[in-house]
């Protein structure tokens, strides 16, 4: 089936999953509660929520029923990971409070590099391009783009939807092989889309 099993002790598994699954969900839920609480006084707040906020809080929309059991059964590693997160947030709070541009840039850059180095199924970024396709926020838009790519024998290695706070539109962001961008762009333009692309190897 293409899976790559990883054999690790159960306790170590719980510690790792707390960092990459459980705490991210709790963090997204907490950020969403923070914004929702502020929105009771500032009604425009959630209307201004754009791609970054939506990306960070997307998992908070998941059904909450499974999480009490998960958190109770894995309380110790989750609390440890939360303590580490709180320490990191406290550190960056101090950096911002002290107006330390250099320290802030260093932290953001290390996070950017770490994010870009996440394991991926993409063969090599040198051979890949990012394609951005403005769309209207209506049913069937993403399906039409994915179907066109399949019809043109273009493999989509990654797909992201960025919503706009300015109105009923958004952007579909695809990662495809650079050699296939011209073919896909031509097909998209024939359907009335206005795509743009850039090489990830640049």
* Domains within the chain, CATH numbers bracketed: 10-116 (1.10.3660.10), 125-199 (3.30.70.260)
Axis-axis angle for helices 101-116, 75-97 (nearest 10)? 140
Is the model's pLDDT at 81 over the cut of 90?
A: yes
- Residue-wise DSSP of 93-146: HHHHHTT-HHHHHHHHHHHHHHHHTS--S-S-GGGEEEEEEEEESSTTHHHHHH
- With a cut of 90, say whether residue 138 has pLDDT above it: no
Taking 70 as the threshold, does the pLDDT of residue 143 lie above it?
A: yes
Global pTM exceeds 0.75: no
Answer yes or no: are the C-beta atoms of 64 and 28 closer than 8 Å.
Answer: no
**Is 131:195 a contact under the CB 8 Å cutoff?**
yes
The predicted model gives 76-97 an average pLDDT of 98
The lowest-confidence range among 116-125, 156-165, 167-176 is: 116-125
- Predicted local distance difference test score (pLDDT) of residue 74: 95
| Radius of gyration, alpha carbons of the chain | 20
Instruction: For residue 124, count CB atoms less than 10 angstroms from its CB and return exposed for 0-12, middle for 13-18, buried for 19 or more.
Output: exposed
Indicate whether 50 pLDDT > 80: no
Say what the pLDDT of residue 202 is: 61
Sorting pLDDT into bands at 50, 70 and 90, what band is 145?
Answer: very high
Q: What is the pLDDT of residue 176?
A: 92
Strands (E), the chain: 128-136, 158-163, 169-177, 196-199
Residue 194 has a CB neighbour count (10 Å cut-off) of 11
125 pLDDT more than 80: no
């Amino acid at each position: 089936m293409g899976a790559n099993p990883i054999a690790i002790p159960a306790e170590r598994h719980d510690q790792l999953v707390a960092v990459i699954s459980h705490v991210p969900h709790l963090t997204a839920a907490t950020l969403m509660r923070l914004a929702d609480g502020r929105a009771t006084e500032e009604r425009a707040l959630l209307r201004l929520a754009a791609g970054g906020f939506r990306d960070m809080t997307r998992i908070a929309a998941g059904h909450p029923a499974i999480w009490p059991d998960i958190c109770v059964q894995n309380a110790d590693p989750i609390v440890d990971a939360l303590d580490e997160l709180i320490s990191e947030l406290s550190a960056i709070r101090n950096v911002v409070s002290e107006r330390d541009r250099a320290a802030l840039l260093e932290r953001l850059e290390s996070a950017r590099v770490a994010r870009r180095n996440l394991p991926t199924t993409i063969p090599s970024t040198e051979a890949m391009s990012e394609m951005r396709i403005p769309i209207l926020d209506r049913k069937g838009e993403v399906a039409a783009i994915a179907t066109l790519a399949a019809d043109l024998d273009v493999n989509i290695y990654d797909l992201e939807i960025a919503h706009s706070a300015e109105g009923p539109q958004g952007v579909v962001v695809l990662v495809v092989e650079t050699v296939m961008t011209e073919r896909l762009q031509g097909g998209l333009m024939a359907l009335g889309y206005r795509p743009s692309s850039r090489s990830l190897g640049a």
